[in-house]
Amino acid sequence: MDMNSNYPQVKTAVIPAAGFGTRLFPATKAVKKELFPIIDRQGRAKPVILSLVEELIAAGIEEIGIVVQAGDREMFQDFFNQTPDYFQKLSSENQEYSRSIQAMGDRITFLIQDTQDGFGHSVYCAKNWVGDRPFLLSLGDHVYLSDQEISCSRQLLNIYERSGKSVVGVTVTSESEIYHCGCVTGTWQESNSVVSVTELAEKPDIEYARKHLSIPGIANDSFLTVFGLYVLTPRIFDYLEHNITNNIRERGEFQLTSCLEQLRQAEGMLAYLVKGRAFDIGRADAYRQTLIEFRQG
């Protein structure tokens, strides 16, 4: 990695938030999973989407595109843009926080996904808005907790701004859990930190992972898996568009991982072992753990 280069700073981020949340039914019949409450280290109850937006703004992101279903746009807009009817009943501290939420709303553009055709399709819905800029991609059903003073998102942005290559955040996951993860392998550029990626595989079985995805320095029964944060060059949209135009689906949907693999082959790609934790709120038991552990910090 060229440590001396200074590539353009990334100021744009995309959050896909247009899924149905079927794994959390029937709770998601009442409220979108991105609006599920969590409690932060300060003891403040907030919806997941607010925690994500705060993470991105703290990392230096200036514009955020949130991909939603058309029928959900008003709900999200109201949260970020409207003053609550009970504003005068709030403490002065919470009144100030309410104003800060509205200020965050000024940075947000809502992008519509008309048909729910997979994660890759959701990302593609941001193509025209992103344009020719590199961007940070953050899963809408994860929240992040850094082990360092700088946020998880900022850690990835630093790697991109030093290298100019797309970066996928990774973490270490036991082989018993990789069936629902994207996996990454490659060669270490910086020990226990930065990997030059040689393959990405979506939800591999254990035998394939053991044969093809092991990486030195990681335990034999563990693999590098996608953390939920990416910094991508806009070329990713070319591969997504090709799959959508030609109706190339995987498991019935348009996926991102295979397009990331094409992007890697064309431009190279780095993986960064994030110094922090990702909390998945998209599954019931994982959401329960998030409520406990995210608060504890």
What mean pLDDT, rounded, does the chain reach? 95
Does some domain include residue 43?
Answer: yes
Closest of 142, 138, 140, 119 to residue 280, by C-alpha: 142
Whole-angstrom distance, CA of residue 49 vs CA of residue 55: 10
Q: Look up the domain containing 197 and give its range.
A: 12-296
Pairing of strands 269-273, 166-174: parallel
Does some domain include residue 172?
Answer: yes
Longest Cα–Cα distance in the chain: 61
Does some domain include residue 1?
Answer: no
Whole-angstrom distance, CA of residue 84 vs CA of residue 98: 8
The stretch 238-259 carries a mean pLDDT of 95
Does some domain include residue 4?
Answer: no
Does some domain include residue 240?
Answer: yes
Does some domain include residue 3?
Answer: no
With vertex at residue 63, the alpha carbon angle to CA 134 and CA 162, rounded to the nearest 5 degrees, is 35
Q: Supply the CATH number for residue 208's domain.
A: 3.90.550.10
Q: How many domains does the chain have?
A: 1
Pairing of strands 182-190, 194-202: antiparallel
Does some domain include residue 268?
Answer: yes
Q: What digits encode the pLDDT tens for the residues 190-246?
A: 988 999 999 999 999 999 999 999 999 999 899 999 999 999 999 999 999 999 999
Whole-angstrom distance, CA of residue 29 vs CA of residue 276: 32
pTM of the full structure:
0.94
